[in-house]
Copies of this chain bind each other. A is one copy, B any other.
Amino acid sequence: MTHWEDFYNTHLPPADFEDNRSLLKEFCERHNKLQNRIVLVTSGGTTVPLEHNTVRFVDNFSAGTRGSASAEYFLDHDYAVIFMHRHKSLEPFTRHFTGQQFFDMLDIADIADGQSSTIAIKPDSVDVFAPVLAKYKIARETQMILYVSFTSVVDYMWLLRAACECLAAFEERAVLYLAAAVSDFYIPEDMMVMRMLNYLSSIVSLQPTHKMQSGDGAPTISLQLVPKMLAPLASLWVPLAYVVSFKLETDENLLIVKARDSLNKYKHKLVIANVLQTRKHRVVFVTPTDSYEVHLSREQAHQGLEIEEPIVADVVQKHSEFILSAQQRQ
């Protein structure tokens, strides 16, 4: 049995899995009938629980900026969008405003009858807010976007496979835009995290820093690798789709080498590589045959342009060429 099959055999699906699967199925069938293009955007980080009954977990940090912004631009290009995101991470449209920013944009006025009131966006905020709200409403009314969410890496794995099962029918018309930051390791349930925490709790806390010596019986955490789902995804689940993965590095020099390694290993179409510190204004597109930079000029960044706009435009262009060449082969 492969590593990824083993993972599904040993980890139960989340409680809301069947509901989400129905939503995915309905959404995909509708848009496939309409012959629409579709994109699965994954966004945000995944968690790995450290214990049963858990309040502690290991998290991969990602606010969800890349994914939520990209989803908006795919809608602009008339793609149906499955927005598969970490619960509570940033979402398209609403991402532009925090809760306090919303509240501060609003004015309350009493109506003449003295009984009721009206609440409206302040005139000087309407210009900023109206276009975002209008796009949100259109996307909802035309049912061009489906929101599904995950928290743990196990939830993510189950949702990803379910989405792929529905996307396969789109063949070349599907894009997988895998921007989520997926945990690369997890702690097996039988491991010793609870024992370690209990041990730590038993140490009196007001002593000078207690250095644990290896060999004095201090428990340890052993980690296991999360399987790379890109392997079955690209080769088995959606073999005809246009699959885009992301690579985040901290070392600029490794960027292209690692991206190319990934393409060689998984045989997908495109890696968008970026360095943690510069990811908001520069990425590198790496294909099996080519690599080039997409970036914002200082002026563009200053004007509030987001790099996801040219990124998505470029992906859409490549996807169009990909569909065309598939049609020509037939």
Contact = CB atoms under 8 A, between A and B. Distances in A.
Interface of A: 1-4, 6, 45, 47, 50, 53-62, 88, 91, 93-95, 97-100, 102-103, 106, 108, 116-121, 123, 126-127, 129-130, 133-134, 136-137, 181, 183-185, 196-197, 200-201, 203, 205-212, 214, 218, 220-225, 227-228, 231, 248, 250, 276
Q: Is the interface of A mostly helix, strand, loop or mixed?
A: mixed
B56 A3 contact: no
Contact of A185 (B94, B197, B222): B197
Contact of A209 (B6, B120, B183, B250): B6
Contacts of A220: 214, 220-222
Nearest to A121: B119
Contacts of A136: 103
Contacts of A54: 61
A206 to B, nearest CB: 6
Contacts of A91: 99-100
A184 B210 contact: no
A261 to B, nearest CB: 11
A223 B209 contact: no
Given A99-B97, A108-B134, A220-B220, A250 B197 contact: no
A205 B218 contact: no
Contact of A208 (B3, B61, B93, B184): B3
Nearest to A120: B120
